[in-house]
């Protein structure tokens, strides 16, 4: 029996520990379950699901960078109907909170997806990916537009009683303003951050290395940016934060919690070591024992509380 209470709360969502798997880095959980005991984790977030299946972008979709990776997968996914039929039965076998990440091109599409999924008992919360193109408004991203993020939160909130997390884009000047509108419109929590916009060129062909040209940068390179965004939100807005971005080991998890995160998600690291998350749970417990922490949730925003 563990002496340390590793459980955390993200609004109404209770997790046995703060370590979750980030959207898009573990598909729907099947492959990673061979390396990592999902029942030991705090939660698992699905690849972004859209109303209809999406093939995503043509290759090249991934490029390695000095301290991370660029990806422009283009939200390839099976769609909500197929997810219910083919993916939920597998996930039902596990006793780990399943968080469904949703992506859409219009507000109506977000709402439609939620309505289809909200009665599925296995789904414990929704995470809304607002960093995708808003086709109706001429290719702008919802994630860069405060009003649009407010509207998505309001409409999705009205469509579900399940815990609602809005995943924020870091490609904005003041992320706290976005967290504020999420809180105002009834969101239970925010996740920060999604990937940073980046690109890369082949110097011989003089062409972009990624078919889509722009891509999302993730991995250790973005950790300081992600930490600063989490800190900015926690300093300014009273809302639970899920910290994401460049977490490579247990120390990074602790750092995110000190800065204000109630829980965290692990993304790029899953490609390097798919067993890492389970190990990290054990290591954060060891840290708590060594430093005399009885409840890990007390670490959240301790930098601000202790100041």
Ligand X SMILES: Cc1cc2nc3c(=O)[nH]c(=O)nc-3n(C[C@H](O)[C@H](O)[C@H](O)COP(=O)(O)O)c2cc1C
Query: Which residues form the catalytic set?
Result: 132
**Peptide linkage before 193 cis (omega within 30 of 0):** yes
Per CB under 6 A, does 169 bind ligand X? Answer: no
Q: Are 122 and 88 in contact (CB under 8 A)?
A: yes
DSSP 8-state secondary structure symbol assigned to residue 217: E
* Interface with ligand X (CB under 6 A), residue from 96, 98, 247, 301: 247
Neighbours of 292 (CB within 10 A): 7
Q: Are 243 and 259 in contact (CB under 8 A)?
A: yes
Q: Which residue is nearest to ligand X (CB)?
A: 24
What binding mask, one character per residue, do residues 268-307 give for ligand X by CB under 6 A, x or -? x---------------------------------------
Kindly tell me which of 77 and 300 has the beta carbon lying closer to ligand X. Answer: 77
Per CB under 6 A, does 246 bind ligand X? Answer: yes
Per CB under 6 A, does 153 bind ligand X? Answer: no
* Interface with ligand X (CB under 6 A), residue from 16, 47, 157, 162: 47
- Smallest distance from the beta carbon of 196 to ligand X, in angstroms? 9
- Smallest distance from the beta carbon of 269 to ligand X, in angstroms? 6
Per CB under 6 A, does 24 bind ligand X? Answer: yes
Per CB under 6 A, does 159 bind ligand X? Answer: no
Per CB under 6 A, does 194 bind ligand X? Answer: yes
64, containing H or E segment: strand 62-65
Question: What residues does 98 pair with on adjacent strands?
Answer: 44, 123
- Smallest distance from the beta carbon of 25 to ligand X, in angstroms? 5
Total number of residues binding ligand X (CB under 6 A)?
25
Per CB under 6 A, does 116 bind ligand X? Answer: no
- Smallest distance from the beta carbon of 71 to ligand X, in angstroms? 4
Q: Are 274 and 25 in contact (CB under 8 A)?
A: no
Question: What residues does 102 pair with on adjacent strands?
Answer: 49, 128
* Interface with ligand X (CB under 6 A), residue from 157, 162, 167, 229: 167
Which of 58, 186, 56, 166 has the alpha carbon at shortest distance from 110?
A: 166
- Smallest distance from the beta carbon of 292 to ligand X, in angstroms? 29
Give me the count of residues in the chain: 307
Per CB under 6 A, does 101 bind ligand X? Answer: yes
Which of 225, 175, 174, 230 has the alpha carbon at shortest distance from 195?
A: 225
Residues with Cβ within 8 Å of residue 165, at least 6 apart in sequence: 10, 99, 125, 126, 127, 128, 187, 188, 189, 190, 191, 242
- Smallest distance from the beta carbon of 35 to ligand X, in angstroms? 17
* Interface with ligand X (CB under 6 A), residue from 17, 25, 134, 141: 25
For ligand X, the binding residues in 205-234 under the rule CB under 6 A are 218-219, 222
* Interface with ligand X (CB under 6 A), residue from 17, 33, 48, 105: 48
Instruction: Report the alpha-carbon distance of residue 22 to residue 47 in Å, rounded.
Output: 8
Residues with Cβ within 8 Å of residue 90, at least 6 apart in sequence: 28, 29, 30
Please give the residue ranges that form the binding site for ligand X (CB under 6 A).
22-25, 47-48, 69, 71, 73, 75, 101, 129, 167, 194-195, 218-219, 222, 244-247, 266-268
């Amino acid at each position: 029996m563990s002496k340390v209470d590793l459980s955390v709360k993200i609004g109404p969502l209770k997790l046995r520990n703060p370590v979750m798997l980030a959207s898009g880095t573990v598909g729907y959980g099947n492959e990673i379950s061979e390396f990592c005991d999902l029942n030991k984790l705090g939660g698992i977030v699905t690849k972004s699901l859209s109303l209809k299946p999406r093939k995503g972008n043509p290759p090249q979709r991934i490029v390695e960078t000095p301290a991370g990776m660029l990806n422009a997968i283009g939200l390839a996914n099976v769609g909500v109907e197929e997810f219910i039929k083919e993916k939920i039965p597998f996930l039902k076998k596990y006793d780990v909170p399943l968080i469904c990440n949703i992506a859409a091109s219009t507000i109506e599409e977000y709402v439609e997806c939620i309505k289809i999924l909200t009665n599925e008992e296995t789904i414990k919360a929704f995470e809304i990916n607002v960093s995708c193109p808003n086709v109706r408004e001429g290719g702008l991203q919802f994630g860069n537009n405060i009003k649009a993020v407010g509207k998505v939160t309001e409409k999705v909130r009205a469509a579900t009683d399940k815990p609602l997390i809005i995943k924020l884009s870091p490609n904005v000047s003041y992320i706290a303003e976005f967290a504020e509108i999420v809180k105002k419109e009834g969101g239970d929590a925010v996740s920060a951050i999604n990937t940073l916009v980046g690109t890369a060129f082949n110097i011989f062909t003089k062409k972009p290395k990624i078919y889509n040209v722009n891509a999302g940068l993730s991995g250790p390179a973005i950790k300081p940016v992600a930490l600063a965004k989490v800190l900015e939100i926690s300093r300014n807005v009273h809302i639970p934060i899920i910290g994401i971005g460049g977490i490579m080991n247990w120390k990074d998890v602790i750092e995110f919690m000190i800065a204000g995160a109630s829980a965290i998600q692990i993304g790029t690291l899953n490609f390097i070591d798919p067993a890492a998350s389970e190990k990290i749970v054990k290591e954060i417990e060891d840290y708590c024992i060594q430093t005399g922490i009885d409840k890990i949730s007390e670490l959240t925003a301790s930098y601000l509380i202790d100041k």
